[in-house]
Amino acid sequence: MSKNQTVKPKYLSDGEVRKEGGYAKTIYQTLHYAYKPFLARIVFVLILGFLGRGLLLANTNVIGYWVDSLIGKHSPVSDLSSLQIIGLLLGMALTGFVSTMIFRVSFSRLSAKAISSFYDEVTLRTSRLPMSFFDKTPAGRIITRFSSDYGNVFRLFGGPLAEFLSIIFDLIMMTILITIANPIYLLLVVFIGVLNFGVYKLNQDRLRKARRELSASRSPSIAHFAETTQGASTIRSFRRQESFKERFESLDRYFLSQKLFTTKQLISFSFQMNSMTAFLLLITGVASYFMVEKGWASVGSVGVAFTFISLSGNTVQMFFEWLTQFEEAMIGVERLDQYMRMDIEEGNYLPSTAHFATGHPTYDPTAEKYLAHRRLTEDRSASVEINNLWFRYRDDLPWVLKNLNFEVKAGERLGIVGRTGSGKSSLIQALFHLYPISKGLISINNHPPKIKAEDKGVDLNLYRQSMAFISQEPILFQGTLRFNLDIEGHHKDESLHEVLQKVGLLEWVQAHPDSLNMKIEERGKNLSLGERQLLCMARCLLQQSPIVIMDEATSSVDPQSEEILVRATEEFFADRTQIIIAHRLSTLAKCDRILWLQNGEVIALGPTAEVLPKFKKAELV
Ligand SMILES: Nc1ncnc2c1ncn2[C@@H]1O[C@H](COP(=O)(O)OP(=O)(O)OP(=O)(O)O)[C@@H](O)[C@H]1O
Ligand SMILES: [Mg+2]
């Protein structure tokens, strides 16, 4: 192990968290939540499966009895004719086969459902984690949990677990049946069990550690790959392909060395197990010889014992191979469970559809239903109050906004100016309460969001819904144009056409063969930046929120489209409260007031005609 640790790249150390020792205790609780709704059905099919495997294996015992009765020894089948015995064997095999099939199919289906519900619950919670989690965690690392780790989980719990259980049933049944054939063999079985378990225990920690290390070493290379594909054009223009390639290769080499190490551990384990089976068969042979010699065992029962012990060599080997997969799956469960147990952002709730009792605040169904139809205000505009606001992204980072105090009146149009990095976009983040506000208060129509249980205020989601936002980077999602405009699918085509008409995109959309079903690629990359901004504007129009916030919405459009956006602020949003951040000062000419920020502090706040010229003058110096 130490040899492998020396090649570990240093950036892994601040990456994945490695766990040592046993699984986190919570994962058993998690699996219980996942399987609970299916418990009765699962118990039924488990019993069916157990009996099915038993019937199939018990054929060996019947044959053993048959042999004994053929050589003239009394056995439970002595009174049956050969034809009857063959009938019995056929009946047992058929019933066993059908029961096993029903078990396999039903159990796989139920288990797949249970484990998918776990995935859903993890997704529900991860999507509500605090923004600081997404700031600190590379996308690749999150993707690894939901792809490769979940892949390991589903690869077992999604079906093959039935196979693993069949093997366990076989081992239990073999023990029972061998004991029925001759109780003395139970001693041998216990001896074999202890030896196998000992070998497994000797290897267990090493195998588990190797597998955990393997899971953790996968994500840095995926994270780097994701980052590289996103920044491909920049990397090319700076001709930095080599250094990115080298970093990827070094991460990938590390992953491969881990893979090789894990494989070596597995091969060594498998070799130990194989050697042991050979040794055990030898012991069984010698022991049986003496037992028949001394009259302690019948020939039939020796046959049964030999069949089961040579069969069990294979089954035990398979059992441990499956145990390996099982452990890999459990580590996957553990890694997803870790995300599921994290605290979600303060003030937010899980939807009432969340079933796992993880202690996260969850909407009460009645409250959720009530909130779904409620708006913070039915008016067309709302006021925003900011009192003694101090804001920073994390406790260990410097203040980004320092003691802000102002009010935006309902229906007012406020422009925000300031040099780059002065805190304009951060003010919007604070308005949406995307990060915890450590000092001060922000409210809409004098309603602050309710963050802690003891706070007075309105539901955080209701509070956020009262603001529509066009960000500095227009955000579009993979899907159709219709989906991007109307994410919740509430609106009719006419309404969509109407807003597209307003932003000047209707002709462009109608000229496209798929019209509203036009495909939008990931992050809208098949559209120009201007088109993206106009679409976001259309989405904002559809939302009908009393407050509209625009961050640099006119930075990437041509003069004609800029005019549309400026018109939007003047006409379409005329009766809304507007907060507009712009570098292009012409965009702000029609604002009622201007807020000038510098290093997170308010330098001036007053009528446009007063503040804008001052800001222009200061900027030119
Ligand atoms: N997610 C973040 N985590 C930590 N610090 C951040 C984060 N986002 C912004 N900052 C910091 O906050 C400060 C203000 O950034 P902000 O984005 O608010 O500036 P801005 O006024 O919008 O600038 P621009 O005009 O360039 O858009 C900057 O120093 C920036 O480094
Ligand atoms: Mg900004």
CA of 472 to the centre of ligand 2 (A): 6
For residue 322, count other CB atoms closer than 10 A to its CB: 19
Residue nearest ligand 1's atom 4 by CA: 393
Pair 129, 211 in one domain: yes
Residue nearest ligand 1's atom 18 by CA: 423
Which regions in the chain score pLDDT beneath 70? 1-21, 553-558, 560-561, 564, 620-621
Predicted local distance difference test score (pLDDT) of residue 5: 38
Pair 284, 394 in one domain: no
Pair 486, 566 in one domain: yes
Pair 304, 435 in one domain: no
For residue 225, count other CB atoms closer than 10 A to its CB: 16
Which helix (H) or strand (E) segment holds residue 596: the answer is strand 593-598
CA of 424 to the centre of ligand 2 (A): 6
Phi/psi at 591 (5° precision):
-75, 155
In a domain, 396, yes or no: yes
Token output for 443: 């409210």
3-class SS of residue 202: helix
CB 55 within 8 A of CB 93: yes
Pair 64, 181 in one domain: yes
Show which of 306, 326, 341 is a domain's final residue: 341
In a domain, 106, yes or no: yes
In a domain, 127, yes or no: yes
The bound ligand whose nearest atom lies closest to the alpha carbon of 397 is 1
CB 524 within 8 A of CB 532: yes
**The domain that contains 92 carries what CATH number?**
1.20.1560.10
Q: Among 94, 107, 104, which Cα is nearest to 56's?
A: 94
Pair 182, 313 in one domain: yes
**The domain that contains 616 carries what CATH number?**
3.40.50.300
Show which of 288, 308, 341 is a domain's final residue: 341
Q: Which residues pair with 479 in a beta bridge?
A: 520
Half-sphere exposure of 56 (CA within 13 A, CB side): 17
CA of 471 to the centre of ligand 1 (A): 13
Pair 438, 525 in one domain: yes
In a domain, 241, yes or no: yes
Predicted local distance difference test score (pLDDT) of residue 19: 54
The bound ligand whose nearest atom lies closest to the alpha carbon of 471 is 2
CB 518 within 8 A of CB 547: no
In a domain, 358, yes or no: no
Pair 327, 250 in one domain: yes
Pair 73, 165 in one domain: yes
Token output for 61: 């015992």
For 251-285, letters b (16+ CB in 10 Å) and e give bbebbebbeebbeebbeebeeebeebbeebeeebe
CA 343 from centre of chain: 15
Pair 322, 465 in one domain: no
In a domain, 361, yes or no: no
Give how many domains the chain has, as a whole number. Answer: 2
What is d(CA 442, CA 538) in angstroms, rounded to the nearest whole number? 27
What is d(CA 597, CA 401) in angstroms, rounded to the nearest whole number? 9
Ligand 1: lining residues by beta carbon, under 6 Å: 135, 393, 397, 400, 418, 420-426, 472
Q: For residue 174, which amino acid is it?
A: M
Predicted local distance difference test score (pLDDT) of residue 577: 95
Residue nearest ligand 1's atom 30 by CA: 421
Q: How do residues 211-264 score in pLDDT, each as one tens digit?
A: 778 878 877 877 787 778 878 878 887 777 888 888 888 888 888 998 899 889
For residue 8, count other CB atoms closer than 10 A to its CB: 15
What is d(CA 546, CA 368) in angstroms, rounded to the nearest whole number? 22
Show which of 314, 341, 368 is a domain's final residue: 341
Pair 291, 419 in one domain: no
In a domain, 131, yes or no: yes
In a domain, 370, yes or no: no
Give me the domain span that covers residue 488. Answer: 384-620
Pair 328, 390 in one domain: no
Predicted local distance difference test score (pLDDT) of residue 554: 59
Predicted local distance difference test score (pLDDT) of residue 589: 87
In angstroms, what is the C-alpha Rg of the chain?
A: 34
Q: Whats the size of the chain, residue-wise?
A: 621
